[in-house]
């Protein structure tokens, strides 16, 4: 399993071969509060780095989930669509949103590692 990378919009991405698993960070789910709805893209859809890939709604707000990398959606987590509370329970595990086939793995190099992300989050307070 490779290193998890993070975006300034609080998404995480973990590369598994030529596929990237994407979700929102634990910090993001804490900020959102109770997640009540997750809208996932269709399998086969092309997503572009920095563009909307999914939508997550909580009792407080609706937020876009942006693709940290570009590629084709190869799987969606139907479990979070059926039970959005999984995002709150395990945002960086069972609460993943989509898997995409990476168009350009080098895009991962431009994202933050865990130490940089933790420092970024600390600056938000």
Domains and CATH numbers, the chain: 4-104 (2.40.50.100)
Instruction: Encode pLDDT of 84-115 as tens digits.
Output: 999 999 999 999 999 999 999 999 999 999 99
**Strands (DSSP E) found in the chain:** 4-6, 11-16, 19-24, 35-39, 46-47, 52-58, 62-66, 71-76, 98-102
Phi/psi-derived region of residue 53, left when phi > 0, alpha when psi is between -120 and 50, beta in every other case: alpha
CB atoms within 10 A of CB 49: 17
**In the prediction, which pLDDT does 2 show?**
65
Using the 8-state DSSP alphabet, how is residue 67 labeled? -
Residues in the chain: 125
**In the prediction, which pLDDT does 90 show?**
98
Mean pLDDT for the chain overall? 96
Residues of the chain scoring pLDDT < 70: 1-2
**In the prediction, which pLDDT does 1 show?**
43
Q: State residue 89 phi and psi, 5-degree precision.
A: -70, -35
């Amino acid at each position: 399993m490779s290193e998890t990378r993070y975006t300034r919009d609080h998404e995480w991405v973990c590369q598994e071969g030529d596929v990237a698993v994407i979700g929102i960070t634990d910090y993001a789910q804490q900020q959102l509060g109770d997640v009540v709805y997750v809208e996932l893209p269709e399998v086969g859809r092309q997503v572009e780095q920095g563009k909307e890939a999914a939508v997550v709604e909580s009792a407080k707000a609706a937020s876009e989930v942006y693709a940290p990398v570009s590629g084709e959606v190869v799987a969606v987590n139907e479990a979070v669509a059926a039970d959005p509370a999984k995002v709150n329970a395990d945002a960086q595990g069972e609460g993943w949103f989509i898997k995409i086939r990476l168009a350009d793995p080098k895009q991962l190099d431009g994202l933050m590692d865990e130490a940089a992300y933790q420092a970024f989050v600390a600056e938000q307070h």
